[in-house]
Amino acid sequence: MTHPHDLADLIQRVLSSVGWTLLGVLIFYFGTVLFDKLDPIDYRVEIEKGNIAAAIKLAAVMLALGGIIIAVIVT
């Protein structure tokens, strides 16, 4: 039998995880929007044309942004 205290703790942890996830997604979204505004190249068009260098750069930016967000949330 589960104790009410254990269930409340579980619910609190789940809600905390969902909240941090939403915050991370929002920061990631606004980070990508900021990157698109600061860099004049339209990477989506370049990738559709087959530009591998653009795809690698965009992937590197996304990974770096994700790493920064994880570091900020963890600390």
Tens digits of residue pLDDT in 6-30? 888 999 999 999 999 999 999 999 9
Length of the chain: 75
Q: Are 32 and 62 in contact (CB under 8 A)?
A: yes
pTM, whole model, 2 decimals? 0.76
Question: Inter-axis angle of helices 4-38 and 52-74, to 10 degrees?
Answer: 140
Q: Are 70 and 25 in contact (CB under 8 A)?
A: no
**Mean pLDDT of the region 50-64:** 96
Q: Which two tokens stand for residue 46?
A: 């370049």
Q: What percent of the chain has pLDDT over 90?
A: 81
